[in-house]
Amino acid sequence: MRPVRLATACVALLLSLAACGGTDQAAGSSAEKSLILATTTSTQDSGLLDELLPAFTADTGWQVKPLAVGSGQAIELGRRGEADVLLVHSPAAEEEFVAEGTAGPRRLVMHNDFVLVGPSADPAGIRGVPATEAMRKIATTQAGFVSRGDESGTHAREEQLWDQNRIVPSGQWYRATGQGMGATLRVASETSAYTLTDRATYLSQKGNLDLEVLNEGDQALLNIYHVIEMTKRAGDGVQPDGAKAFADWITGPRAQDLIGEFGASAGGARLFVPDAGKDESALGN
């Protein structure tokens, strides 16, 4: 009879688990106003979204489904009308996208910066030189560079830096992971290579990495986030009112305060600088 009792216990455990999942789920889906935010992995991996979204829901009643993908995919989801609002950091691609006419207003939200990280021995000698020169040195010494290779905002910035040097990176020293920033940082750390990263993700994972910030502070390394509202022109399913509510909120005083305090409250460095309403060309000066 022993197995009988054990089996009954197992079944009871599983049923109770499934049942409590059922109530959770019903509570989650009962909200009617729900919008889709397509954003970048950096906002999720750094933990910023966990801070912002509950406050947004409390203030406006809108539930948010955040899809953390690369900026390239986020823009594509917007273009197809599969997302209501975008929070992205790929300015050149964004401007092109807005010019297509399916997007609504695009507003400045915040910035942080990219940094070049690598092994502390710095074999290519990129400390203290301008960012474009640092990239050229990495390429000419073939010191090893790990790229996101995923059309993300970070990847776009990396390509821009290569372009300015008229370098088309290829060869053994240049690897593309096709993955998010966290995974790419780990590959760079394990292979003692350089990589370009946003500062927030690097700081949040620094403890697990054998990488140091070697090059920072150049104007060319500014990482600027915009919010883009989508319109019905992108697709019938788009909810422009939800998009506007989110864009208004994240550029409003409450969210801007939260962004400015994010990271600092945990005793760490400030990870993002709130910029709503500022002149974009004056950033970083």
Partner 1 sequence: MDVLGDGLLEALRLLVTGDEDTWAITALTLQVSLSATVVAFLLGAPVGTALALGRFRGRRVLLAIANTGMGLPPVVVGLFVTVLLWRAGPLGAFGLLYTPTAMVIAQAAIAVPVVTALTATALQQVDPDFLLQMRGLGATRLRALGALLAEARLPLLAAAMAGFGAVVSEVGAAQMVGGNLAGETRVLTTAAVLATSRGQFALAIAFGLVLLGLAFVVNLAVTLAQHRRQVAR
* Size of interface with partner 1, in residues (CB under 8 A): 42
Minimum distance, C-beta of residue 52 to partner 1, in the bound complex (Å)? 13
Stretch that binds partner 1, among 90-98, 140-148, 236-244, 266-274 (CB under 8 A): 236-244
Q: Work out whether 36 is an interface residue with partner 1 (CB under 8 A).
A: yes
Stretch that binds partner 1, among 39-47, 113-121, 246-254, 263-271 (CB under 8 A): 39-47
Nearer to partner 1, 91 or 180 (CB): 180
Nearer to partner 1, 97 or 162 (CB): 97
Cβ 213 vs Cβ 182: under 8 Å:
no
Minimum distance, C-beta of residue 81 to partner 1, in the bound complex (Å)? 6
The DSSP code sequence of 52-87 is HHHHHHHHH--EEEEEEE-HHHHHHHHHTT--SEEE
Report d(CA 134, CA 10) in Å as an integer: 60
Nearer to partner 1, 20 or 168 (CB): 20
Residue labelled with tokens 């946003």 = 198
Q: Work out whether 182 is an interface residue with partner 1 (CB under 8 A).
A: yes
Minimum distance, C-beta of residue 102 to partner 1, in the bound complex (Å)? 12
Counting Cβ atoms within 10 Å, is residue 154 exposed (0-12), middle (13-18) or buried (19+)? buried
Minimum distance, C-beta of residue 161 to partner 1, in the bound complex (Å)? 24
Choose among 93, 99, 36: nearest CA to 68.
Answer: 36
Among positions 147-166, residues that touch partner 1 (CB under 8 A) are none
Minimum distance, C-beta of residue 4 to partner 1, in the bound complex (Å)? 5
What contacts 143, CB < 8 A, 6 or more positions away?
118, 123, 124, 137, 173, 193, 194
Residue labelled with tokens 């273009």 = 79
String marking each residue 10-29 x if it binds partner 1 according to CB under 8 A: xx-xx--xx-xxx-xx--xx
Q: Work out whether 235 is an interface residue with partner 1 (CB under 8 A).
A: yes
- Cα 165 versus chain centre, distance: 26
Contacts 24+ apart (CB under 8 A), 161-166: 161/131, 161/132, 161/135, 161/196, 161/220, 162/135, 164/132, 164/135, 164/220, 165/132, 165/135, 165/136, 165/139
Helix (H) or strand (E) holding 242: helix 240-250
Rounded to 10 degrees, the C-alpha dihedral 104/105/108/109 comes to: -60
Nearer to partner 1, 205 or 251 (CB): 205
Q: Work out whether 208 is an interface residue with partner 1 (CB under 8 A).
A: yes
Among positions 68-87, residues that touch partner 1 (CB under 8 A) are 68, 80-82
Considering only residues 71, 152, 205, 251, which one is a binding residue for partner 1 as defined by CB under 8 A? 205
Considering only residues 128, 217, 237, 252, which one is a binding residue for partner 1 as defined by CB under 8 A? 237
Question: Which residues sit at the interface with partner 1, rule CB under 8 A?
Answer: 3-4, 6-7, 10-11, 13-14, 17-18, 20-22, 24-25, 28-29, 36, 41, 44-45, 47, 50, 65-68, 80-82, 180-183, 204-205, 207-208, 235-238
